[in-house]
Amino acid sequence: MEMDGFRSAERSAPAGRRGRLRLAVAAVLASTLLLTTACSGDDKPSWQGGGNTPEGTSASQPPASQPALSTVAVTSPAADAKSVELWSEVKYNSEDPANTEVKVTAKGKEVKGTVDKDAKVWRPAEGLAWNTTYTVDVSTPAADGKTTSATSTFTTMKEPSKVVRATSFLADGQKVGVGMPLIMKFGRAIPEKYRAEVERRMVVTATPAQEGVWRWSSPTEVQYRPKTYWKPNSKIFYSVNLKGVEMGDGWYGRTNLTVDLSIGREMIMTVNNKTKQMTVKQDGKVIKTLPVSLGKASTPSASGTMVVMEKAAHTVFDTTDEDPVNGYKTPIDWAQRLTYSGQFIHAAPWSEGVQGKRNVSHGCVNVSEAMGKWLFDRTLMGDVIVVSGTEEKLKNGDGWTNWNMSWEEYKKGSYLS
């Protein structure tokens, strides 16, 4: 600050007087500063942190901003949506997905489901109920320690008139052989476009764990087998959650079902056409070798890997409808079906004299009356029989031929592979 009047007087004054003038100027400056401070109230000079800067901060370091509150919102299904399909996912937005909780309820009860926090999606564990209102609550902790939340509702579709029934060939509590496939049948052909989703909803759990896959044997039937024969004494559980699953042309799955069954000991029957003997192994050990007679040249037995499909202690083979001239109608004991086309293991007392020597059957595996009963008493549906060395090969699809193809070939029948 320069005061021209004082400086002019200082220049014109003698040396002794100049000193006194400097003191006077200093006093005036000091009083001016005191007056300025007093007029400014509680404000501090800017070099002491004064001015308009908030208390406790400096002009060069602005105060830290408060953290933004985390927000959440349900994005799908839309709020108050109607006719929502039963397997619809719940989608949401969140700025803190790792700490976000999702809860879906209906009629006061929480619905089972899984949350993919990365994708910000909730998926139902099974198909939702028809024509039911669901409430979605999404919440996440806020910066102030409170909770930010969002709520939305939607209503599922009414049960359609066009529903597809799915049935399991096997039932709870059954014990089957190590070659038994799991079989699901549908009341209507499933278009290829929808088969992958149908497979995805049919989950097989084996104890101990075993790799396996579903294969479509026809548009109305799908079968499941493990990579190798089921491990003996395994426990098998499968859940088929098809209620509300779209199956094309306005058709939907009708219901869900579960099946709980067990696998027995391992029994493998091996028939060699060259020796005309059957070797029976149980849990890897030979327990019986017996003579057989296979199909004669005009009606050969098929070579391949088959399983026991059904058993009848006493039945009648009647082929007269198929062949009125050469057909036959014969009572049969201890019959075990191997193919749809009519290949069986069965007792044939009329061929006992040539069993182990010549083939005289119409394609079946003939055994004696005694051996027929012995086998029948020990086998389970799903036990394996392997026939080799005959003139004809087993056609895939002629029975449960799941084991008549390699694992790589079998997997090609899945729409998820």
At CA 173, angle to CA 167 and CA 178, rounded to 5?
A: 85
End-to-end CA distance of the chain: 89
Q: In the numeric block, which tokens belong to residue 416?
A: 């998820």
Residue ranges in 131-276 assigned as alpha helix (H): 192-200
Greatest alpha-carbon pair distance for the chain in Å reads 158
And the tokens for 299? 């009606």
**From CA 181, how far away is CA 381, in angstroms rounded?**
10
Cβ neighbours for 100, distance < 8 A, ≥ 6 positions apart: 72, 92, 94, 117, 120, 138, 139, 140
* Three-class DSSP category at 31: helix
How many other C-beta atoms are found inside a 10 Å radius of the C-beta of residue 358? 12
Residue pair 314/388 in contact (Cβ under 8 Å)? The answer is no
Alpha-carbon distance of 125 to 110, in angstroms, equals 12
DSSP state, residue 315: E
Measured distance CA(151)–CA(133) in Å, rounded: 13
| Residue 346 annotated in active site | yes
Collapse the DSSP code of 330 into the 3-class scheme (helix H, G, I; strand E, B; otherwise coil) and give the result.
strand
Q: Which residues are catalytic?
A: 346, 364
